[in-house]
């Protein structure tokens, strides 16, 4: 699959559910209404969809959500997709998770052929964690992370940098990840989805964070890429990679190799644009796979060049009303 700008589309991020067992303040409202079950792709439909993308050239697949590990039947899907890795038709199968259920699932993930996973952890402080997630218990997540490590999964921690919330902890997180042997990626808040409170208030440019970190750490430029949008440095003191994802202050669209599919089977060509295609209808219309493949091909043919995120500062509104838990992070 080559898009109109010559970019080869090899990376699919698939949201397997909009549900979650946490309510992170930057991601969801406190009272969320989740989609009726019939709207969601079934586990079988999710598998058929992934196989269609793999036939069309996708080599890397990331499952996300919502919280992928709360989806019933998820381990069945993961085990089946793991067979694609074993067969060499897929280079990588991975997951972004909040970690709450990893203690239970880490071993199975490893057995299914996963090698590395991203775990979201914005703070190491018990109270800040509870406030940020509205009721989450950090001990469950820390146990989950330890279980992932013990199972032999390579761990990368994702931290959303928030002004006045966890900015003073980022140094500590770099040190902790160094001690534990985890890479770390810092994420700028993205204006997606209506949530309570002002987003501008917590917007923290990563340029500023990087500058502050460089007072305490030697940040060596690195050309490493993981097929995602982060740029990386190596922290000389710990030997770990430190990534920065800055959708607002920099444009990372030139090298974009990915598309997203929501848990309802909607294909988004760009996280920052509304253009999409419905893949659920062709999946449900026919058992034959040429219908869905044709829709995917046609949609890739109109993948936009890039996005232009803005936080609407006057109205404090996100540029896109779509929630992150529907599109997947
Ligand atoms: N529940 C899983 C988790 O938290 O890792 C997977 C889904 S979550 C939507 C994926 C990533 O998106 C997480 O790292 C989360 O911190 C991040 N995220 C959610 N809302 C965001 C926002 N408004 N801006 C930036 N990152 C966001
Ligand atoms: Fe759930 Fe992940 Fe969103 Fe937090 S960021 S509410 S863990 S989906």
| One-letter-per-residue 3-state SS of the chain | CECCCCCECCEEEEECCCCCCCCCCCCCCCCCCCCCHHHCCCHHHHHHHHHHHHHCCCCEEEEECCCHHHCCCHHHHHHHHHHHHHHCCCCEEEEEECCCCHHHHHHHHHHCCCCEEEEECCCCCHHHHHHHHCCCCHHHHHHHHHHHHHCCCEEEEEEECECCCCHHHHHHHHHHHHHHCCEEEEECCCCECCCCCCCHHHECCHHHHHHHHHHHCCEEECCCCCCCCCEEEEECCCCCEEEEECCCCCCCCCCCCEEEECCCCEEECCCCCCCEEECHHHHHHCCCCHHHHHHHHHHHCCCCCCCCCCCECCCCECCECCCHHHHCC
pLDDT value, residue 250? 47
Ligand 2 residue neighbourhood (C-beta within 6 Å): 20, 22-24, 27-28, 65-67, 98, 120, 325
Residue 288 Cα to ligand 1 midpoint, Å, equals 34
pLDDT at 248: 60
Distance 216 CA to ligand 2 centre (A): 30
Distance (angstroms) between ligand 1 centre and the Cα of 210 equals 20
Q: What is the pTM of this model?
A: 0.92
72, pLDDT greater than 80: yes
Kindly tell me if the per-residue pLDDT of 88 is higher than 50: yes
Which whole number is the average pLDDT over 162-177? 97
**Pocket lined around ligand 1, Cβ cut-off 6 Å:** 20, 26-27, 64-65, 67, 96-98, 120, 158, 160, 187, 189-190, 192, 324-325, 329
Domains of the chain are 11-327 (3.20.20.70)
pLDDT grade for 200, boundaries at 50, 70 and 90: low
pLDDT for 254 equals: 74
Average pLDDT over residues 190-213: 78
Tell me which residue has its CA closest to atom 5 in ligand 1: 97
Q: What is the pLDDT of residue 329?
A: 54
Of ligand 1's listed atoms, the one at least distance from the Cα of 189 is 24
Q: What is the pLDDT of residue 316?
A: 47
Report pLDDT digits (tens) over 133-159: 999 999 999 999 999 999 999 999 999
Each residue of 290-307: pLDDT tens digit?
999 999 999 998 877 776
Q: Taking residues 110-125, what's their average pLDDT?
A: 98
Supply the residue whose CA is at minimum distance from atom 8 of ligand 2.
66
Q: Which atom of ligand 2 is nearest to the CA of 20?
A: 1
Range in 146-155, 177-186, 203-212 the model is least confident about: 203-212
- Residue 275: its pLDDT value, please? 86
Which is more confidently placed, 211 or 195? 211
Nearest bound ligand to the CA of residue 69: 1
C-alpha 133 – ligand 2 centre gap (Å): 8
């Amino acid at each position: 699959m080559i898009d109109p700008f010559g970019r080869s589309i090899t990376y699919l991020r698939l949201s397997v559910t909009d549900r979650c067992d946490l309510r992170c303040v930057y991601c969801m409202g406190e009272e969320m209404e989740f989609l009726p079950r019939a709207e969601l792709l079934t586990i079988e439909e999710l598998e058929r969809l992934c196989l269609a993308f793999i036939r069309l050239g996708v080599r890397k697949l990331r499952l996300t959500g919502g919280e992928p590990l709360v989806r019933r039947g998820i381990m069945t899907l993961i085990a089946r997709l793991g067979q694609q890795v074993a067969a060499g038709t897929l280079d990588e199968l991975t997951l972004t998770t909040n970690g709450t259920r990893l203690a239970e699932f880490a071993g199975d993930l490893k057995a299914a052929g996963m090698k590395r996973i991203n775990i979201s952890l914005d703070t190491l402080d018990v109270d800040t964690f509870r406030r940020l997630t509205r009721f989450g218990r950090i001990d469950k997540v820390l146990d989950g992370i330890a279980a992932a490590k013990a199972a032999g999964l390579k761990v990368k921690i994702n931290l959303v940098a928030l002004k006045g919330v966890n900015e003073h902890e980022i140094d500590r997180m770099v040190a902790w990840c160094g001690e534990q042997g985890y890479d770390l990626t810092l994420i700028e808040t993205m204006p997606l989805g209506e949530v309570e409170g002002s987003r501008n208030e917590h917007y923290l440019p990563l340029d500023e964070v990087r500058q502050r970190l460089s007072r305490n750490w030697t940040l060596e430029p690195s050309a490493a890429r993981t097929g995602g949008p982060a740029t990386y440095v190596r922290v000389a003191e710990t030997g770990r990679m430190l990534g920065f994802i800055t959708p607002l202050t920099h444009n990372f669209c030139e090298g974009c190799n990915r598309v997203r599919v929501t848990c309802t089977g909607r294909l988004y060509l760009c996280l920052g644009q509304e253009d999409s295609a419905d893949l659920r209808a062709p999946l449900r219309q026919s058992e034959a796979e040429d219908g869905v493949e044709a829709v995917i091909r046609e949609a890739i043919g109109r993948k936009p060049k890039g996005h232009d995120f803005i936080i609407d500062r006057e109205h404090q509104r996100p540029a896109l009303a779509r929630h992150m838990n529907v599109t997947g992070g």
